[in-house]
Chain A
Amino acid sequence: MATIFCEKRRPQMASVRPHVMPMPCKDEEATGQIIRESIGMTEADIPTKVLEVIFDAGQTDDQEIGDAEFIVSGGRGLLDKQNFKLIRELADELGGVVGSSRSAVDAGWIDVEHQVGQTGKTVRPKIYIACGISGAIQHLVGMQDADLVIAINRDPEAPIFEVADIGIVGDLFEIVPAITESIRRAKAANGHQACVLKPVQG
């Protein structure tokens, strides 16, 4: 969400992105005046024209992480390139995409398109699961606006826990497959109806 500073000035203003708040029930009693301003401008008046939207090459089968609702990210804690398959399995189970920290990209474990952070992509998913990512500030600024951050890390002092809504201190090699498995089981039990992980507010 944007942070807008108008400490010493009035009027105050606020804006929110779509989906950041749950939809409340309609309150018939509510009062207040909504002023709709017509700015009398059509798309034809905008000098910049969108001719065509072309997607980057190499992103054909991967959902763009910038738009993903669920992101499972891996970092240096994965220790090896092949361990990214744990991350991939969990992401697949959630219908999400794989993200990564810069160090995993630098190590050559994953393509730079997956990099989240200052020099990578800024993401705002509903759920961001950080596995083996300590949470250097360069990474945090790219994902801290996620609705729900789940962090899995061995080091209880890791700064990722400062921004995490749910923190799991432990071995990701045990925890990640366990989560994947329990989702798989839950989905089987529910007949693939719904995902067990729903964005939790608050």
Chain B
Amino acid sequence: MPNPMVFALVLVAAVVLFIWSAVRRFSLLRVGRPEDRFNDIPARIRDTLVYAFGQKRVVRKAFGFNHLLLFWSFLILLIANGEFILKGLNPAISFMSLPAVVHNPIYLIFDLVSLIVLLCVIIAAIRRIVKPPFPGALTADAYVILGMVAALMIAYFNLHGLELASGEMIALMPISSAVGGLFYSGITPVAAHPLITIWWWVHAIVLLGFLNYLPYSKHMHILSSIPNIYFKRFDHANTLPRETFVSDARFGVESVADLTWKDLLDSFSCTECGRCQMVCPANLTDKPLNPRQVIHDIKINLLENGPAMRKGAEPKLALIGGGGEGSITEDQVWSCTSCGACMEVCPVFIEQMPKILQIRRNLVEAKADFPEELLNLFENMEQRSNPWGIAPSDRTKWCSLLDVKPFDEDCEYLFYVGCAGAFDSRNKQIALAMAMILDAAGISWGILGKEEMCCGDSARRLGNEYLFDQMAQANVELWEQKGVKKIITMCPHCFSTLKNDYRQYGFNGEVISHSEFIAELLTAGTLKLAEKVDLGKITFHDSCYLGRHNDIYEQPRSVISAATGRDPVEMKRNHSDSFCCGAGGGRMWMEEQLGTRINLERVREALDEDPDTVCVACPYCMTMFEDGLKDEHREMVNVRDIAEVVAMALPRQ
């Protein structure tokens, strides 16, 4: 056994060094802006128990079970290592001093758990070679940590094997006993003693080394991810905060100082598992964006610039720029479809997407630097309040043959048609279908007609917050004037914007997606269908802004089932795992020049199910699917909005 005095000195030195490193790192969070994540402590504790200690998201992937085992083993071995350290300071302190009925199970558990840990790290090491989670996962950092943990377990078994074999310790420790029997059988206490001391020190040095290595590696997540989960958002990150437009204001994110402390904590919490990049539509179609890399670059940038920035210096390494380690390129920033898949899978609730959109704000508002095709879009939205720049008087053309009532105070619902429904010839048919459904259900509804304005979704996701701000204010003002209380939308982008973003502008009316509304009408029996529509085999594509951003998954499916009499078949990726059509986040209005096409990836996935009809619940998805099917020369497969399917099932007038 070691000299307690010597160990005390080593321990104090190691702990002081660790605290210094950890404080130095965590103090960099103060570079970020303030953000209130301190409300509702009971709910935060509950979520921490579920997601940190229960590892709910970690185990969504099969291999996550390995991590769950490691996590809980580490917690148990924290107790074992506590005993180890105290015993090193004072040999009298030991679980051995407890009665055998207590200490026997304790040592048995420690012994078995140590074996589990050893097996888990071996499996993890092999996996990284045989089937790495993503290319590039084979890093030295990963192996250093796996090696350290393995060394710790090996030292543990040798130490106790020696103690058991020499008779210095009597305990029920089958693994340690086996190691002792194998290597140290019949060893005398005198011969064992120096070996015990050596293994004890190996264990101590690796343990304290591990502790001090943590703050400098991606495994800092051991320290940061539990707080990161504690401080997570309760709602979906489907909006961005408002900006104030005053002179000298900073817009969006240009440097790490423009991020909040929680954004920076996110960067410390990433352990580079790569789950976000494996679901990212941009990454999977060979575009430069990789959400894991974005978070990593934020961390590297903070480490590089943070210490000087805390003293008031300007950052040396630009956050947006060349794309070397610690900087993010503009191509990465513009590749995001804002589909939210990255945030949905992150086990520690890192919010990748809002950071990317905040960088867009800086590019658009502070630097006027954006892909040229967006100039047209922004002008059209600003001047004509629609993305195509079509005359607002054309907004009612879709219903020129119908008797649609302009919204007035007698109307219960405003049907907010949206730009796609009003102007796009294919999507006008959805607006028509909605009108038929609303009338068939006897709903009191009206439209704003040429007074309707664009919701501004694309402007906000593309970072033109000034434009969005004007549009949102104008809309909310108009609805207040008109007495709008309940809004039905047919576009999930309008829906999410009106429902979530417009809250920031004081709009408190009810916003209902057509998926929800039709499903409710059918359930309540208000809407009666005459016949089942035969559309052959149907598969349903989840829209990101309906599903992941607003948790609406079952309603559109139930609508399809009710109208056709059969459930839609699921694509390989469905519900919260659904794959974006490629048009979100303003990508609808941009060229897709990098990598392969996102919509084709999704269309091929749909075609794997050999459907006769692809059902969608979003005008953007409609366009992307129709285009993709043409490119794949599969025009025979129909694309239908759920409203069209229902309209076909209505009783003939």
Query: Could you tell me the distance between the alpha carbons of A141 and B631 in the complex, rounded to whole angstroms?
Result: 22
Q: Does A156 count as interface, using CB distance less than 8 angstroms?
A: no
Cβ-closest chain B residue relative to A77: B630
A135 touching B425 in the complex, CB below 8 Å, given contacts A118-B376, A118-B589: yes
Query: Could you tell me the distance between the alpha carbons of A159 and B424 in the complex, rounded to whole angstroms?
Result: 9
Q: Do B425 and A162 touch (CB < 8 A)?
A: yes
Q: Do B423 and A119 touch (CB < 8 A)?
A: no
Q: Do A141 and B393 touch (CB < 8 A)?
A: no
B window 540-598: CB within 8 A of A: 589-592, 597
Chain A residues lying within 8 Å of B631, measured Cβ to Cβ, are 76, 103, 106-107
Cβ-closest chain B residue relative to A163: B425
The 0/1 profile, CB within 8 Å of B marked 1, for residues 109-151 of chain A is 0001000001100100000000000011110110000000000
B interface, by DSSP: helix, strand, loop or mixed?
A: helix
Chain A residues lying within 8 Å of B592, measured Cβ to Cβ, are 106
For chain A, the count of residues having a C-beta within 8 Å of the partner chain is 19
Task: Tally the A-B contacts, defined by beta carbons under 8 Å.
Answer: 45
A118 touching B388 in the complex, CB below 8 Å, given contacts A135-B425, A137-B423, A137-B425: yes
B window 587-633: CB within 8 A of A: 589-592, 597, 623, 627, 630-631
Chain A residues lying within 8 Å of B423, measured Cβ to Cβ, are 137
A window 89-121: CB within 8 A of B: 102-103, 106-107, 112, 118-119
Chain B residues lying within 8 Å of A141, measured Cβ to Cβ, are 388-390
Query: Shortest Cβ distance from A79 into chain B, in angstroms?
Result: 9
Query: Could you tell me the distance between the alpha carbons of A55 and B157 in the complex, rounded to whole angstroms?
Result: 77
CB-contact partner of A119 in B376, B389, B426, under 8 A: B376
Cβ-closest chain A residue relative to B371: A119
Q: Does B509 count as interface, using CB distance less than 8 angstroms?
A: no
For chain B, the count of residues having a C-beta within 8 Å of the partner chain is 23
Chain B residues lying within 8 Å of A122, measured Cβ to Cβ, are 376
Chain B residues lying within 8 Å of A136, measured Cβ to Cβ, are 424, 426, 623, 627
Q: Do A137 and B424 touch (CB < 8 A)?
A: yes
Cβ-closest chain A residue relative to B623: A136
Query: Could you tell me the distance between the alpha carbons of A106 and B590 in the complex, rounded to whole angstroms?
Result: 13
Chain A residues lying within 8 Å of B373, measured Cβ to Cβ, are 118-119
Chain B residues lying within 8 Å of A140, measured Cβ to Cβ, are 388
Q: Do B376 and A5 touch (CB < 8 A)?
A: no
Query: Could you tell me the distance between the alpha carbons of A107 and B592 in the complex, rounded to whole angstroms?
Result: 12
Chain A residues lying within 8 Å of B393, measured Cβ to Cβ, are 3, 5
Query: Shortest Cβ distance from A116 into chain B, in angstroms?
Result: 13
Query: Could you tell me the distance between the alpha carbons of A153 and B379 in the complex, rounded to whole angstroms?
Result: 32
Q: Does B273 count as interface, using CB distance less than 8 angstroms?
A: no
CB-contact partner of B589 in A107, A119, A159, under 8 A: A119
Q: Do A3 and B388 touch (CB < 8 A)?
A: no
Chain B residues lying within 8 Å of A118, measured Cβ to Cβ, are 373, 376-377, 387-388, 589
Query: Could you tell me the distance between the alpha carbons of A94 and B373 in the complex, rounded to whole angstroms?
Result: 30
CB-contact partner of B388 in A76, A102, A137, A159, under 8 A: A137
A window 136-187: CB within 8 A of B: 136-138, 140-141, 159, 162
The 0/1 profile, CB within 8 Å of A marked 1, for residues 7-47 of chain B is 00000000000000000000000000000000000000000
The 0/1 profile, CB within 8 Å of A marked 1, for residues 387-398 of chain B is 111111100000
Query: Could you tell me the distance between the alpha carbons of A107 and B627 in the complex, rounded to whole angstroms?
Result: 12
Q: Do A76 and B630 touch (CB < 8 A)?
A: yes
The 0/1 profile, CB within 8 Å of B marked 1, for residues 1-38 of chain A is 00101000000000000000000000000000000000
Query: Could you tell me the distance between the alpha carbons of A140 and B428 in the complex, rounded to whole angstroms?
Result: 15
B window 417-435: CB within 8 A of A: 423-426
B window 379-406: CB within 8 A of A: 387-393
Chain B residues lying within 8 Å of A107, measured Cβ to Cβ, are 631
Query: Could you tell me the distance between the alpha carbons of A76 and B597 in the complex, rounded to whole angstroms?
Result: 16
Query: Shortest Cβ distance from A154 into chain B, in angstroms?
Result: 11
Cβ-closest chain A residue relative to B420: A137
Query: Could you tell me the distance between the alpha carbons of A136 and B627 in the complex, rounded to whole angstroms?
Result: 9
Q: Do B590 and A119 touch (CB < 8 A)?
A: yes
Cβ-closest chain B residue relative to A137: B424
A103 touching B589 in the complex, CB below 8 Å, given contacts A3-B391, A137-B424, A141-B390: no
Query: Could you tell me the distance between the alpha carbons of A118 and B389 in the complex, rounded to whole angstroms?
Result: 9
Chain B residues lying within 8 Å of A138, measured Cβ to Cβ, are 388
Query: Shortest Cβ distance from B393 into chain A, in angstroms?
Result: 7
Cβ-closest chain B residue relative to A115: B591
Query: Could you tell me the distance between the alpha carbons of A103 and B590 in the complex, rounded to whole angstroms?
Result: 13
Query: Could you tell me the distance between the alpha carbons of A192 and B423 in the complex, rounded to whole angstroms?
Result: 43
Query: Could you tell me the distance between the alpha carbons of A107 and B631 in the complex, rounded to whole angstroms?
Result: 9
CB-contact partner of B426 in A3, A106, A159, under 8 A: A159
6 additional contacts (CB under 8 A) given A119-B591, A136-B627, A140-B388: A103-B630, A103-B631, A118-B589, A135-B425, A137-B425, A141-B388
The interface of chain A, by Cβ under 8 A from chain B, is: 3, 5, 76, 102-103, 106-107, 112, 118-119, 122, 135-138, 140-141, 159, 162
Chain A to chain B contacts (Cβ below 8 Å), 9 pairs: A5-B393, A76-B631, A103-B631, A107-B631, A118-B589, A136-B627, A137-B425, A138-B388, A159-B426
The interface of chain B, by Cβ under 8 A from chain A, is: 373, 376-377, 387-393, 423-426, 589-592, 597, 623, 627, 630-631
